[in-house]
């Protein structure tokens, strides 16, 4: 009986750690989305100014935005993978709870 209690205690610690890390991950995702939205507003304003005054800068900015779009697309693809992994973990957890 003592072994089972100790095992239960360790499993609870592990699960609590997982929950803490998941909460931290969610916080970081929220911060990244907020930061990205702010940066895009700044970029929009910069493009308006650049189009009127500095056409050569506009061309360079266009290519940088292309690169940013590619990186963001890659991030989205990776995020979808992690979402699938989270869904699998949830399914496994549900199955475990039902036993």
- The share of the chain scoring above pLDDT 90, in percent, equals 0
Residue 1: pLDDT band (50, 70, 90) is: low
**What is the pLDDT at residue 86?**
84
Res 62: pLDDT? 80
Q: State the Cα–Cα distance between residues 94 and 68, nearest whole angstrom.
A: 38
Q: What average pLDDT does the segment 67-80 reach?
A: 84
Q: pTM for this one?
A: 0.50
Of 31 and 99, the one with more pLDDT? 31
- Stretch (H or E) spanning 21: helix 2-53
């Amino acid at each position: 009986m003592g072994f089972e209690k100790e095992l239960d205690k360790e499993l609870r610690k592990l699960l609590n750690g997982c929950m803490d890390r998941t909460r931290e991950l969610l916080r970081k995702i929220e911060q990244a989305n907020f930061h990205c939205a702010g940066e895009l507003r700044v970029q929009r304003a910069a493009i308006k100014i650049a189009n009127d005054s500095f056409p050569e800068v506009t061309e360079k900015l266009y290519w940088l935005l292309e690169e940013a779009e590619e990186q963001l697309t890659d991030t989205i693809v990776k995020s979808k993978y992690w979402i699938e992994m989270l869904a699998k973990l949830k399914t496994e957890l549900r199955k475990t709870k039902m036993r």
